[in-house]
Each structure stands twice: as structure tokens, then as C-alpha cells.
Amino acid sequence: MSHARHAIAPSGKPFAFSPDNEAKFAQLLPKYPTKRAVILPALWLAQEQEGHITVEAMEYVARRLEQPAVAVFAVVEFYTMFKTEPTGKHHIQLCRTLSCWMRGYQDLQGLIERKLGIGPGEKTPDGKFSFELVECLGSCGTAPMMRMDDRYWENLTVEKLERIVDACNQGRDPAGEDH
Amino acid sequence: MVTITIDGNKIQAREGAWLIDVCRENGIDIPHFCYHPGLGPDGNCRMCQVDFVSPRGNKLGISCKTAVAEGMEVLTQSEAAKHARASVEEMLLLNHPLDCPICDKAGECSLQDYYMEHDLQSSRQDFTRFRKEKAKDIGPTLVLDQERCVLCDRCVRFLRDVAGDAQLYIAGRGHEAYITTFPGQEVTSPYSINTVDLCPVGALTAKDFRFGSATWFLKNTDSVCTTCARGCSMQIQSKKDQIYRMRPRENADVNGYWACDEGRLNYKFVNENRLARPFLRRGGETIECSVPEAVAEMRSLLGFKPAGPVDAPSGRKGVVLLSATATLEEMFLFQCLAQEILSAPLFVARHVPDGVDDRLLRRADKHPNAKGAELLGIRLLDLERGATAAAPVIEALGSDGVLIAVGFNTDVAPLDPIMARAKKIVALSGCKNALTDRADLVVPGLTFAEKDGLVVNFQGHVQQLKPALEPAGETEWRVVDLLIASLLGTKPHEFVTQIRKAIQDGVPAFAGVNLTKLLPTGARADARAVAK
Amino acid sequence: MATPKIISARFDEKKAHTLEGYLALGGYATLKKLFKMKPDEVIDEVKRSGLRGRGGAGFPTGMKWSFIPKNTDKPKYLCVNADEGEPGTFKDRLILERDPHALIEGILICCHAVGIKTAYIYIRGEYDFPLARLGAAVKEAYANGYLGKNIKNSGVDVDVVIHRGAGAYICGDETGLIESLEGKKGQPRPKPPFPAIVGVFDCPTVVNNVETISALPWIMTNGADAYAAIGTEKSKGTMLFSISGMVERPGVYEGAFGVNLWKFIEESTGGVKGGKKLKAVIPGGSSSAILTAEEARNVNLDYESIAATGAMVGSGAIMVFDEDTCVVEALEVVLRFYAHESCGQCPPCREGTYWLYEIVNRIRTGRGRPEDIDLMLAICPDMLGRTVCVLADSAAIPAASYIKKFRSEFEAYIDKANPPERKLHPGGINFEARAL
């Protein structure tokens, strides 16, 4: 298995918390006895603000919390949910661990690959979808399932997933297809 | 104290001490990667596993992060312990590139050593190795090979916890984990090369030494860094009269395990602009001469007859100015010359560039022996603390003074105002510079790498410089000793230890120190007993 | 005796997740009594109940609390482990979504017993909906005086902070969680010192699972004896079992310890999906050893009985393999998971999980060699008990047990003359996927 880690380079875009996030950040600080403990929550704010975490955002968080930038970077690289590149508008995280495997996540992957033309780690050219295979999301009783748009989609079948994807493609709320 | 049993032997140990330390103190080296005495245990590498004996059955555990306790019984060489360590070694080699033939660490690599120690099993590795980045330039001093890395975290912990400047971290996780800087940033710590010493494998190499020499061809000389007033214990590594590398030696009293990059790399001048033979200038002409001829010329310049004993003081007005890089023996002998024969003023000069003492090792005073001068009772001049600093020298020189300048090898600009006022100049310098370009008599001196001499660090700790290279000329102490002997009509000294004995006997600060037989880590002088 | 509902009593109540709904169902009723009790009395009560940690290790909860130093100037902390990540486990999620106030009430009980003023709930980052429900419940509890200063005039102060993880199974390990909470990579710490002495922010810390904490209100209301009366001698009370895989009705089922394992699965879920034959059962999450159908039919569901088979109750994650489930590919999925989730500290785990995965992947894809099976069996013991935490064990234990119990299936893949018929799409193995 070869390995190609994508290079993480500055985006060239300066980062600062929005006024909303600045207020949230101010509320976070007194909740912890150390500034370092605020790294994860602060990174969440940064990611929510820009959709992913830029090099500038890491430097910003490090500066605000008086931490070495490289320590913040190591944290970003450790946790799978922190993204250093923009994901698609709809980021599909399809679970592939035991119960979802038994219940046939493979067919769902097949549908995504056929219908959207993207494999794991890829993004559609229009930026609408990106796709990632993930490990157990803690929803084994409703396998197979996926996470997309900050929510779970459970008891999936190929047909149901197709309806969800279609809704996204047609600009409708896919929640209407979750039945 | 507690009593523990290691491999059947009862051993007394400090309660709470790490087992791995207790083993080492008792002659048992437990293989390890993440543990380092200067960093403490981390517990991640699992290489130091030993077998803990218990009535419920033996249990493997790490020796680095286990504190000894009364009654503890340990087997370091049981089959289980040896197998556990061998299996960790095997795991570490799974994705290791095995590029030892082109690796700078070959010969001083723990992976290699422990492989030899653990049975030389043939590899069961049977898949395509996981690739990471190789030969990655991560700053002015370092090159990183992520594939060779065993992720022991030593470099990370050193920069973060010791140097106080976290610039490397392990990012990612599992077998994908890798050492990295922050994207787009470099390792710029003034202590960066310590990470190369700490790296137990070939992951971090120093640009300065990369592909320089196979380590086993290098000759090691225990010496002292002369780059600042800390005087870190150093090992000079050389081959064929070339220095290839300098590395810190462990010295709890001075530098612990570390040295700064500036000190390590401050050896290039040893092979640059060196002066080979004494020479004198007469009417714009330079005339090479021998050392005895140079001594005779010195006598003449100082206004003495060329040979035979003299009645001191009777010479022309001389001023002796030593660099604070001069050794204790040189300072002592010039002190004799100046005070007892010439009745001339004597100064030790240092120029303190802008800078501060940092929290680890580096001192603003960039000279190894200012404290030595102080303990000998010689007046110190800080030449860069304002133009007036040179005034005492200039005043002493008067209109027809002879300046004897000793030990100024590089960076002589601060001497400009003094040189301008000296009628005649005698220079004992290792390297060609503005001072030797102007001097009327030049006697080549030696650099730290060729000298046998003592230096006293800012804490009053005396250590010995030892020659790593063949000397290019006569050593300074001998030149001045010859001059003194010729002026007094006595026999010159044969050995530098005779001078050391004289210092020990005559200078209160060194009364309690055996200067003739210093330990490799040196000894502490009595810094309060400053000579009058 | 009918299956008692202790944890799941309010799961089907539509409004139990709100304060109003919870109060209407008798919630927070135990606080009056609680704040009159001395902290040590509460610890004793929990000790007597026999409650054991439901996160996986099954350590007695009262005893864990009693390790916290009594005379210390340092603050003490409670970390509630809501980083539910063991494959097969999805029960804490239900508590967080449907009964979050029971967790908050449990937190108050623990904090009062141990003298804690701040509790952190570490919830896995992917749990969006549970996070929303829990967040709303905490907000409501603050607004109505169940959290904060001087709770219900008791003089007791408790703050709850919800801390969101960001995707790392290893943060479910108690010291991995502590490291992550401190803003670091979630890499478990060597022990000792144990969290009870040096935990989060270097202070004495209790780390308890969501379900464990949520059992406390019932115990305090009904008494330790009532709880201890349920279950077996050493496995007391009830537990939430997450049952998934090839069964008719996967889901979370609360059960008392001591019943027959397969009977419990069958009665709860309706048995194997589509009337197929049972092949195997994983009784306690993907890190447990596997049980053959026969073993599953003959073992009781309690800590000791399951442990006697070499498997474990763990987090109560039961996964059922039907006759068509390929054990070789299942092991590949399990090992891929652990290789992906290894934090990377210890070589036996970092390299061992990857090595095992590489070998099983090669076997499953028809590139296996006859010696590979024994090679895997030789590697497994070198990963057991050699590392800081038990993630390496979690890979080696299933690997060894799947191979030992279903060796012929592995051999069939290696036998080039008779490769097994492939029933499932070969799920592409793609470590790079994470990089997106």
C-alpha cells in the first residue's frame, strides 16, 4: 500500500474569529483551567466558520491560546473530523465497520461510486459531494448508515440513499427522504 | 533506600528512582528508545520491558516508568523479557527502510545495536513498506527522514520541555504518524542539533555532518566548547586533522547533556586563515623567523638586550592584553611576565555582543575564560560596552607603548582604537586577521582544537581543553614561558602541568582543586577566593 | 422475573429528554435525599449496589470513587465518558438522546459523593443529535437550578461542561480521554499514576461511562439492595446491550445479568435475520474474542461466565454473524479498524495492528501463503499486555480467536484450488480516505 499524504500549505487567506465565534470563544475560556484545553473547542469554531481548518486558522488558534502552533497542528492531524481541505457541500461519511459491513455498506459505496463518480477521499467536480469511508459511528443497530450534513442517515438501502442523493442534487432538503 | 532484586542480586536503591536508572547504575543496560536521562521516561517505545516477578506469575512491564519499591524483584534477562524486547525491535523494523548503507547514523544507531543484541533473527516482514517522506529539509541545521523514525518523541520533548520552544511534533496516528514541523515553518531553535544526538536512529541528521564521515572512522577527543562562558563539555570528533563534528559530553555540573548549535558549529575557523610560522615586519617587509628568533625580537621590541638575563623591570613601556579566550596557563604566565618582569599593565579583554544569557545554556559572554582571569585577579575589560572601555589600555600605552596582544583569533574589530594608539604590536594569534596584518611581530598561536589548557566557566568550573588536532605551531604558553626564562636566565618549563601546579599553589581560588589531574567533567574552583 | 427497566425506563417516553418530561416521570426526586447524605454514605451505597463500569472494563464504580484522595487541596474532576466508539456499541447514544437528565442527575450524585465541582462530559464528535439533546438538557438544568451554584439550596455547586471530541476511538480510553480533554492528541498515559490520583489537569479524576452514571439515580432512589438483588452474585443489576449484525430487530435491549446469552438475543431481537443459521456471536464489542454458535448457546450473560470463555461482556455490544458472514473478511474489517485507530505511541500496537491487517488482507484477497495463519497467531501474543493501553490487545484477541475457532475458513482462502465464493462486494481498503 503506497502512501501519499497531501501537502498542507497556507491558504493565503487570513483568519480571525467572526464576532459570533469570538463571543463563543470568550465563553469557552473560563470553562477550563488551562488554555490548552480550549484547543479542540476553538478548532471546532474555526472549522464551523470556514468549513475546514486552514493553516492560518491553526496559527490563529495557537496564538489566541498561547500554544505552539505545531502542537495545534498535531491535534488537527490526529482527529479524523478536523479537515484541512474543503469538503463538498454534502460530505458523505459512510460507515464501513462490522455491523455496517455485515448489513452491506458495500452496496452503498457502489451506488456512490456509480452515481456520483467519486471514490473514497474524492470530491465531485461541482463540489457538491465529497465521500469518505469512516470507521464505526456508533449506530450499529441501524446499519448500514452514514453521516452527512451534520446528522445521521440510518437504516440505509441503495434506494433510500439514491433518493437522498437525488434530493441533494435537486436542491431539495434530503431530510424528506429519511423514511 | 529500598532493597530490590535484579537478576537474583539484592541491590540498594533510592526509593522512587526509575528502575532503568537503577539498572544502569548497577551495570545493566536495558535497551530503550524513548527514555533518555536528560528527558526522563515517556513510556511509549516499550523497548525497556523486563520481567517482574510476582507470586501470581511474572508480568512484563517497562523499566523506564516504573519506580522501584521495597521488595521489587526483576528479571532483565529472562526469556520472556528478551522475547518482548526482540518483538518490539521486530515491530520497529517492519516499516523501517533499512537504508543503513547510506544512513549517517549507521554505527551509532540504537536500532542497529539492539538488532545485534537480539539474536539477529531473519525478517518476517513480508509486505510493501509504508512510505513516508525522506530527506526533508526542516531548517537551517536539520534534515528529517520520516521513514527511519521510531516515533520515540525525544526530539519533540527536548524542544518543548528542555529548549522551551516546541517546533516539532508527532502528527497523524497509528503507523501513519510522523514527525513534523508546523506547515511552512522550520526548526530554528538555537539548540536544534541536540535532537540529532537524541535521535536514537537516523531520522534526524545534521546538515553540517551529513555524509561527512562514517562515524567509526572518527577520533574522539574530550574537550570543552570555547564559544561562550558556559564552557560546555564537548567531544571533538576528527579525522586526519579535520574536525567533522562536535558533540556535547554529559556533565551535570555544566551543560547536562546539551550544547547549543553555535558552539557545536564553531570549529570552521580552525581550518581557515591559519598562520604557519612566526614573522616580523621591518620597513614594510615581512621576514619569517623561528620561535627563538621571535622571542629575541620580543625582547628587542620591549627594549631589552637581545639575550641574557635582565634586571627587571627595565624594558620599554609594555601593555599586555589577553583575549578572554586565552587559557588559564597563558593568563597566569603573562601575569608573571607583566607583573614581575615588565611591571606592565595587564588586561583581559572580552567583547560582549548584544545578547542575553538564555534560560538553558547560552551566555552573553562569548569567551570561555573570563572567570579564569577574574580568579587570577586580572582586570577585565568589556570592550564593546562603550568606546571608553578601551581607555585604560590606551592610557597605559601612552605614546610609545608596545602592545602584546594574545589570543585574538577572530573578530578583532573591537581592538581598532587600541591598535591605532600602539607604537609597536606583538601578536600571538591563531588566525590571520587585522591584528596580525598590522603587528610588528607575529607568533602563530593555536586554536582550542590544538591546545592543552584550562578554562574556567562563569560558575567557576575548571575544565581542560585537549588537543584533537596536531598543533600548527608552538603553543602560546610555551612562547611566553620561553620569553620569561630568557629574561630571567632560567630554564623553561617542560610540561604544562608544571604551570598548573604553580597556579594551584599560588592562586587561592584553585587551592582546593587538583588542576594537574582534572576529571573529564572538571572541578569547581572557589569562586569567592578572588586573588587580589 | 420480568426484565427490569432501569436505564431504559424512559427511552420510549416522548418528552423524557426535556426537564418538564423528566420531572413528570419522577426525575431529580432523589436530590433531596442525596444532599442530606454524607458523601461517604453515598459511596457506600454505590459500593453495596455492586454497580460496575459499563464502558467496557467493568470496574466496580464505588471502589473507583473511593480511590480519590479525601484530603487534597487540588480540585477534583469527573469526566463522563460519552465517547462511545467500540464497534457494536450504540447504547450511550440513546441515553444522551432520550434521557439526558438522568445523566445529569447521576452526575450530581457522583459529584456529591466524591466532592467534585466540575464535570466534563466528553462526547464523541460525530454524535450531532445526542450532543444537541444533551446541550439542551444541560442548559435547562442550569436555568432551573439543577446545575450551577447552590443547587436547590443544598450548598452544593456543580458545573457541567460538554466537551466535543473530534474523531478518535482511542479517546474512549480513560487516559486517552483525559489527554484529549487537556487539548492534546488522545494518547493514553502509562499508569501509574492512575487518574484517581493524577487525572485531568493533574488533579484527582473520576472517569465514568454514561450508562454507569445514568444508573445512579435509580440506585439512590430504590436503594443499593434493590439493585444488587438483580443479576448474579458478581454481576449485579442490569446493562444495556447493543445488539446488531444479522438479527431480525437490532437495537438496544436492557437485560439483567445471568440469563442465557443466545436466549436473551433471540428473545430480544427475534433471532437470526431471515431464518438463517447462527454462525457466531461477538458478546462484548469488536475487541472481544468471538463465540461459536454452540458457545453462544451455552453461556450465561454475565461478566464471569463470559470471561470464562475467553471473551468479555465489555461495553455490552453483541454482534451476530449468520451462516453467510465471512469470518476472514470480518477479521479484516476489525483489524482495519484497530490499525486505523491506533494512536501510534507503542510499536507493538502501531506496527502490530498494521501487520496483522496486511496479512489478513492478503489472505482475503487471495494472496495468502500457507504460513500466514501461524504467523498471525505468532504475532498476537507479542501484542498482548505490551502497550500503554489495551488497543493492541483489542486487535490481537479477536485475531487469535477468529483464527482458532474458524481456522478452516482462513485455510480455504489460502487454498488456491478451492477459494471460497465471494458473497460480498470487496470493500475497498483505503487508508488514504481519511486524508480528505
Per-residue pLDDT at B348 = 95
Q: Do C164 and A40 touch (CB under 8 A)?
A: yes
Asked if residues C3 and C255 have their Cβ atoms less than 8 Å apart, the reply is yes
**A3 in any annotated domain:** no
Q: Do A107 and C425 touch (CB under 8 A)?
A: yes
Answer yes or no: do A100 and A130 share one domain. yes
User: Which one of B128, B132, B182 has the shortest CB-CB distance to A70?
Assistant: B182
Asked if residues C42 and C220 have their Cβ atoms less than 8 Å apart, the reply is yes
Q: Does B134 touch chain A (CB under 8 A)?
A: no
| Domain spans of chain C, in order of start | 19-228, 238-322, 327-414
Instruction: State which of A55-59, B39-43, B272-276 shows the largest mean pLDDT.
Output: A55-59
Please give the helix or strand (H or E) that residue C278 lies within, else none.
Answer: strand C278-282
Give the rounded percent of residues in chain C with a pLDDT score beyond 90.
92
Q: Which three cell numbers stand for residue B371?
A: 572567570
Preceding omega of C193 cis (within 30 degrees of 0): yes
Answer yes or no: do A165 and A96 share one domain. yes
The reply to whether C238-322 and C327-414 are identical in fold is no
Q: In the beta sheet, which residues pair with residue B234?
A: B223, B248
Whose cell is 442525596? That residue is C34
Per-residue pLDDT at B118 = 79
pLDDT band at C1 (very low <50, low <70, confident <90, very high): very low
Asked if the model's pLDDT at residue A156 lies above 80, the reply is yes
Taking the mean position of all CA atoms in its chain, how far away is CA C237?
A: 16
**A1 in any annotated domain:** no
Choosing from A56, A78, A100, the residue where a domain stops is: A78
**A7 in any annotated domain:** no
Q: CA-to-CA distance for C215 and C106, rounded, in angstroms? A: 7
Per-residue pLDDT at B314 = 62
* Averaged confidence pLDDT in chain A: 94
What's the CATH number where A101 sits? 3.40.30.10
Within B375-460, strands assigned E span: 379-382, 402-406, 424-429, 441-444, 453-456
pLDDT band at B179 (very low <50, low <70, confident <90, very high): very high
Q: What three-state secondary structure class fits C28? A: coil
Answer yes or no: do A49 and A95 share one domain. no
Average pLDDT over residues B161-189: 96
Closest CA to C72 of C204, C236, C255: C204
**A8 in any annotated domain:** no
Nearest CA in chain A to C82: A138
Closest CA to B194 of B38, B45, B359: B38
**A11 in any annotated domain:** no
Per-residue pLDDT at C427 = 42
User: Which one of A32, A134, A143 has the shortest CB-CB distance to C244?
Assistant: A143
Contacts with C86 from chain A: Cβ below 8 Å: 136
Nearest CA in chain B to C376: B124
Task: Give the range among B301-310, B436-445, C244-253 with minimum mean pLDDT.
Answer: B301-310
B151, B162, B182: best mutation site toward chain A, by most A Cβ within 10 Å?
B182
Subunits next to C (3 or more Cβ pairs <8 Å) are A, B
Asked if the model's pLDDT at residue C425 lies above 60, the reply is no
Per-residue pLDDT at B532 = 53
Nearest CA in chain C to A38: C183
HSE, CB side, 13 Å, CA atoms: give it for residue A81: 23
Nearest CA in chain B to C168: B173
Q: What is the CATH number of domain C19-228?
A: 3.40.50.11540
Whose cell is 445488539? That residue is C243
Q: Do B170 and C431 touch (CB under 8 A)?
A: no
What's the CATH number where A65 sits? 1.10.10.1590
Q: In the beta sheet, which residues pair with residue B246?
A: B236
Average pLDDT over residues B5-23: 96
Q: CA-to-CA distance for B442 and B430, rounded, in angstroms? A: 10
Nearest CA in chain A to B170: A74
**A151 in any annotated domain:** yes
Q: Which residues of B167-187 are buried (b: 16+ CB within 10 A; e: fewer)?
A: bbbbbbbbbbbbbbbbbebeb
Whose cell is 457466531? That residue is C280
Q: CA-to-CA distance for B326 and B348, rounded, in angstroms? A: 9
Q: Which amino acid is at A17?
A: F
Q: How many domains does chain A have?
A: 2
Q: Which three cell numbers stand for residue C252?
A: 438496544
* Averaged confidence pLDDT in chain C: 94
* Averaged confidence pLDDT in chain B: 93
Contacts of B232 (CB under 8 A, 6+ apart): B224, B225, B248, B251, B254, B255, B258, B259, B260, B263, B361
Domain span holding position A41: 19-78
Asked if the model's pLDDT at residue C430 lies above 50, the reply is no
Q: Does B174 touch chain C (CB under 8 A)?
A: yes
Answer yes or no: do A105 and A144 share one domain. yes
Average pLDDT over residues B419-448: 93
Q: CA-to-CA distance for C42 and C40, rounded, in angstroms? A: 5
Per-residue pLDDT at C3 = 66
Q: Do C355 and B176 touch (CB under 8 A)?
A: no
- In words, the CATH class of domain C327-414 is mainly alpha
Angle formed at CA B259 by CA B32 and CA B411, multiple of 5 degrees: 160
Q: In the beta sheet, which residues pair with residue B425?
A: B403
Per-residue pLDDT at B387 = 65
State the angle between helix axes of A69-78 and A39-50 in degrees (0 to 180), rounded to the nearest 10. 70
**A101 in any annotated domain:** yes
Average pLDDT over residues B401-420: 89
Angle formed at CA C177 by CA A36 and CA C132, multiple of 5 degrees: 85
Q: Are strands B379-382 and B402-406 parallel, antiparallel or unpaired?
A: unpaired
pLDDT single digits (tens) A67-117? 999 999 999 999 999 999 999 999 999 999 999 999 999 999 999 999 999
Q: Do C345 and B151 touch (CB under 8 A)?
A: yes
Task: Give the range among A5-19, C98-112, C113-127 with minimum mean pLDDT.
Answer: A5-19
Min Cα–Cα distance to chain B from C104, Å: 33
Topology classification of domain C238-322 = Ubiquitin-like (UB roll) (3.10.20)
Asked if the model's pLDDT at residue C116 lies above 90, the reply is yes
**A177 in any annotated domain:** no
Q: Do A73 and B184 touch (CB under 8 A)?
A: no
Q: Do A3 and B176 touch (CB under 8 A)?
A: yes
Taking the mean position of all CA atoms in its chain, how far away is CA B326?
A: 16
Answer yes or no: do A34 and A94 share one domain. no
**How many angstroms separate the Cα of B385 from the Cα of each of A82, B391, B395, B414, C245?**
53, 12, 17, 10, 80
Q: CA-to-CA distance for A105 and C135, rounded, in angstroms? A: 31
Q: Which three cell numbers stand for residue B164?
A: 522551551
User: pTM higher than 0.90, yes or no?
Assistant: yes
Q: Does A82 touch chain C (CB under 8 A)?
A: yes
Per-residue pLDDT at A3 = 41
Instruction: Report how far apart the first and last C-alpha atoms of chain A are (Å, whole number).
Output: 39
